[in-house]
Amino acid sequence: MTESNTLHLNQQISLQEIKLNSLLEITSAINDNLSTEQLLNIYSFILKEQLSYRKFVLFIQQEGWQCIKKIGYKGKITLDDHLPDLLRFKETTLLAASNSTLLKEFDVILPVLHLGKPLAFLLLAEVQENRKDINDKEVHLSFAQTLTNIIAVAIENKRLVKSNIVKELISKDLEVASALQKLLFPSDLPSDRKMDISAKYIPRHAIGGDYYDFIPLGDDEYIICIADVSGKGISAALLMANFQATVRTLFKYQRYELSFLIEELNKKVMRNAKGEKFITFFLAHYNAHSRKMTYINAGHNHPLLLMGRKSQALNQGCIGLGMLDELPSINIGKLTVPNNSTLVLFTDGVVEIENEEGEQFGVERLIKNIQAYAPLKMEDMNNIIFSKLDEWRGILNYGDDTAIISCKFF
């Protein structure tokens, strides 16, 4: 073997050792769960110092495309300008000529694909001039692409793991929030010689946006209310929790006229929601001694008062809270509650639940069920109504938060 051939063989062996050691270093770093920044530093060292590339740029898809490493390129990269040019490439391509101000600075583009979709792009310039004698560009490209593939997948896996951890933390936070929200609902509803009250609530998600309450004001006076916030999610639930606390605070220290109370609540919702959400609300003040009830309905589903076979919708009030800075008009409802009457307050999740044909349960069907089961205890009646809702929806999930509070006045 000639001296030239021996030198070439030794160079090839040395190159293979470099590649093997590089792969071992990268895989060890991944197994040791090093940070993304540390992985990129090792990757850059291999490309620059061991494979002798003088200039390269790495783009990775991470909840949107990002340029996460730049070596030897001083220009500012605006991805919106260059992403269409990158996405055209589906395989390793030599960049002989390009109209792109970015691509013309490099010699080759290496796409990394996963299931046919681009995961990363590596732009490479020529190896350093003084190292061309021992480095072959064609030999290195395949290895550079393998290396980039490993790095891109490792970084994506780290992102997914982090995302799952965040999801777990959010899930645990939601469980805590759900438990705290349940504490805000009344736990001891009366069932005595004056009245029998029971409530049932199924939130659509871990925390919901419906609210009901029963607040004793003395031996014979009570507040009964129900509310529903527009929209869903954490922001809606937080707005309702704040509203719930406000209602209880207002009644804790002083009694207010319903018109003043509803104006104050409207201001509170406007400040907190800034016009982005609103709350429908029904509140009744009942005197068990006189049997007088005053109420106000702020855009909520009309509660149903059943007196024998007759039913009355409690519809006096105003628009929903948080819709306008000032309520245009307020009407206070007044009535005398007959003996053995049943009042049912509910949110729209009850009457708007759909069956598999897209038909809603509806108010009339609810009235018929109340008339049929009102002689029972209110807890039993509520359970039967929810069983009817389950039959109605079939295999479908509840589409909204669903709440009922039923009151029998003896």
Tell me the CATH number at 21.
3.30.450.40
Query: Do both 179 and 133 map to the same domain?
Result: no
Residue 135's pLDDT is 46
Is 170 among the domain residues? Answer: no
Clarify whether residues 323 and 208 are in a common domain. yes
Please tell me what DSSP assigns to residue 301.
Answer: P
Please tell me which of 43-57, 120-134, 140-154, 392-406 the model is most confident about, judged by mean pLDDT.
Answer: 392-406
- Specify whether 219 is located in the same domain as 127: no
In a domain, 169, yes or no: no
Residues 156 and 290 in one domain: no
Q: Looking at the domain assignment, is residue 166 inside a domain? A: no
The pLDDT, as a whole number, for residue 266 is 95
Question: Are 70 and 99 part of one and the same domain?
Answer: yes
The total number of structural domains that make up the chain: 2
Beta bridge partners of 227: 211, 281
Are both 246 and 277 inside the same structural domain? yes
Asked if 188 contacts 256 with a C-beta cutoff of 8 angstroms, the reply is no
219 and 137 in one domain? Answer: no
Does residue 7 sit in helix, strand or coil? helix
Residue 229: what pLDDT?
Answer: 93
Give me the mean pLDDT over the 324-353 stretch: 96
Q: Give the whole-number percent of the chain exceeding pLDDT 90.
A: 47
Domain-ending residue, one of 130, 161, 192: 161
Alpha-carbon distance 347 to 66, whole Å? 46
Give per-residue pLDDT as tens, 210-259: 999 999 998 899 999 999 999 877 778 778 888 988 888 888 767 788 99
- pLDDT score recorded for residue 11: 52
In a domain, 328, yes or no: yes
Gap between the Cα atoms of 261 and 263, Å rounded: 5
Residue 168, in any domain of the structure: no
402 token code pair:
């669903």
Q: Looking at residues 297-309, what average pLDDT do you find? A: 94
The CATH code of the domain that includes 381 is 3.60.40.10
In this structure, what token pair is assigned to residue 177?
Answer: 């929030």
Partners of 402 in beta bridges: 202
**pLDDT tier, 196 (very low <50, low <70, confident <90, very high otherwise):** very high
Q: What is the largest CA-CA distance in the chain?
A: 117
Distance CA 242, CA 273 (A): 11
Flag whether pLDDT at 14 surpasses 80: no
Which residue, 132, 161, 190, sits at the end of a domain? 161
The predicted-structure confidence for 113-165, as pLDDT tens digits, reads as follows 877 888 899 999 876 554 444 445 566 787 888 888 888 888 888 888 887 77
Copy the structure tokens of residue 345: 């307050």
Residues 254-265 have a mean pLDDT of 88
Q: Are residues 320 and 183 in the same domain?
A: yes
Pair (124, 56) in one structural domain: yes
Q: Is the pLDDT of residue 377 over 90?
A: yes
Whether 150 and 249 map to the same domain: the answer is: no
Final residue belonging to a domain, choices 133, 161, 189: 161
Query: Does residue 179 share a domain with residue 110?
Result: no
User: Is residue 214, in this structure, part of any structural domain at all?
Assistant: yes
Q: Establish if 304 belongs to a structural domain.
A: yes
Least confident of 145-159, 272-286, 381-395: 145-159
The residues, ordered by sequence, that sit 6+ positions from 348 with a Cβ below 8 Å of its Cβ are: 228, 301, 400
Which domain, by its residues, includes 120?
3-161
Q: Does pLDDT of 361 surpass 70?
A: yes
Bigger pLDDT: 178 vs 87:
87
Domain identity same for 136 and 225: no
Is position 329 within any domain?
A: yes
Contacts of 301 (CB under 8 A, 6+ apart): 228, 280, 282, 346, 347, 348, 350, 351
Question: What is the H or E stretch that residue 247 is in?
Answer: helix 234-253
